[in-house]
A and B are shown apart, each in its own frame.
Chain A
Amino acid sequence: MDQLREYLKGHAVDDLVQQAVLDEASRRFIHSAHVVEEEALKAGLLPARYQRNRKTLSIEQQLTLFQARVAVIGCGGLGGYVIEGLTRLGIGTIVAVDPDQFEEHNLNRQILCTLETLCYPKTAAAAHRVRQINPAVTLIAVQKAFNNDNEGKFLKECDAVVDALDSNAARVELAKICSKHSIPLVHGAIAGWYGQIAVQLPGEQTVLNFMQKCKGKTGIEKEIGNPSFAPMVVAGLQTAEVCKIITHRDRTLSARIIFIDLLNMRFEEMKIE
């Protein structure tokens, strides 16, 4: 590792390390791209891909993000954009959970769905996209439905869980599990012009209590569908909340829910307990 660090320091420009240097270091010292990026950050060097982050996030925070593990439950409309955002943010390990394959009706809004990925598993498309953006990010693809029986395996050791599910019944189970294991949960949901976001921190049951009120009631998205922009907006907000859970915990959206009305461009905030 010392040799690797010396190599990275020797080839850095100021404190920036170009992708070509990281790639060469990976080949020369036979370490994965993940290990090389982490060592660069530990040495106080910034991979050049993050240079536009640096006035917002310090190198230390970038390292914290890289050492974090975040689960994204659902890889459709919200999940696809969240995975895109987390990868570019520099989260080191993403656990992507979804049992489904892409279908034509996903093309209107799901960023991972293209003509090339139709009929492919959503989690496989997520892994492919992450490799295209940054091979140092580890994506663990779990092509299974989220349920009570298998939750422990997916969510254990996660620093945050993103709710990108499409069923409020499943959301209740996810919120229960996150509450039980003290894992921060970032809830998001969409329907037509509308969306909502909330965060449940360890020790809270806010999202669980909220979702229990919705359980058994059919979401209005079944009637009005989902256009392209709703998942982009809500997934962007969810990604910002994940970032803060890891780097600015005291600024997270706690004990509040935000309702988003894109038709009238209004955000309404309510307290949840």
Chain B
Amino acid sequence: MQITINLFATLRKNRFESDRRQCPEGTTVQSILNDLSIPESEAAIIFVNGRHAGPDTFLLEKDTVSIFPPIGGG
């Protein structure tokens, strides 16, 4: 199945801004994080199709995963 992955801010460094890739059925957000070597501490916020998701969320054909790092300055 085809999945679109959008990375934000510093997560793009040495990776990409947006990528489409083929993933096997049963792929979770966590397996995407593993593939991209993004530690959990750097992936604060995960959205699938613009809605809150978590590492355990299963992905479906044509889903878009957006991953944001934690931002805390003020």
Binding site for B on A (CB under 8 A): 74, 76-79, 163-168, 171, 188-196, 209-210, 213-214, 217-224, 226, 230-231, 259, 261, 264, 268-273
| Interchain nearest-CB distance for B65 vs A (Å) | 12
12 contacts between A and B (CB under 8 A): A76-B74, A77-B74, A166-B74, A167-B72, A191-B9, A191-B72, A214-B72, A217-B41, A217-B42, A220-B71, A230-B73, A271-B52
Cβ–Cβ contact A224 & B10, under 8 A: yes
Cβ–Cβ contact B52 & A217, under 8 A: no
Determine whether B8 belongs to the interface, using a CB cutoff of 8 Å to chain A: yes
Mark each residue of chain B from 32 to 74: 1 if its CB lies under 8 Å from any CB of chain A, else 0: 0000000001101101001110000000000000101111111
| Interchain nearest-CB distance for B58 vs A (Å) | 19
| Interchain nearest-CB distance for A191 vs B (Å) | 4
Whether A189 contacts B71 in the complex (CB less than 8 A), given A194-B8, A223-B10, A261-B8, comes out as yes
Cβ–Cβ contact A221 & B73, under 8 A: yes
Interface of B is mostly: mixed
Taking a contact as CB atoms closer than 8 A, the residue among A74, A191, A218, A273 that contacts B52 in the complex is: A273
Cβ–Cβ contact B51 & A219, under 8 A: no
Q: Give CA–CA (A165, B41) in the complex, Å.
A: 20
Binding site for A on B (CB under 8 A): 8-10, 17, 41-42, 44-45, 47, 50-52, 66, 68-74
Cβ–Cβ contact B71 & A195, under 8 A: yes
Residues of the B chain whose Cβ atoms lie less than 8 Å from the Cβ of A189: 71-74
Whether A272 contacts B9 in the complex (CB less than 8 A), given A78-B74, A190-B73, A213-B44, comes out as no
Taking a contact as CB atoms closer than 8 A, the residue among B50, B51, B74 that contacts A74 in the complex is: B74
Whether A219 contacts B73 in the complex (CB less than 8 A), given A191-B9, A193-B9, A213-B45, comes out as yes
Taking a contact as CB atoms closer than 8 A, the residue among A218, A226, A270 that contacts B51 in the complex is: A270
Cβ–Cβ contact A168 & B72, under 8 A: yes
Cβ–Cβ contact A220 & B74, under 8 A: no
Cβ–Cβ contact A217 & B44, under 8 A: yes
| Chain A minimum-CB-distance residue to B39 | A217
Residues of the A chain whose Cβ atoms lie less than 8 Å from the Cβ of B70: 168, 214, 217-220
Cβ–Cβ contact B72 & A270, under 8 A: no
Q: Give CA–CA (A55, B40) in the complex, Å.
A: 49
| Chain B minimum-CB-distance residue to A269 | B50
Whether A165 contacts B9 in the complex (CB less than 8 A), given A217-B44, A220-B69, comes out as no
Q: Give CA–CA (A269, B8) in the complex, Å.
A: 12
Whether A218 contacts B41 in the complex (CB less than 8 A), given A76-B74, A165-B74, A188-B74, comes out as yes
10 closest Cβ pairs, A-B complex: A219-B72, A221-B73, A166-B74, A217-B70, A191-B71, A190-B73, A194-B9, A168-B72, A189-B71, A214-B70
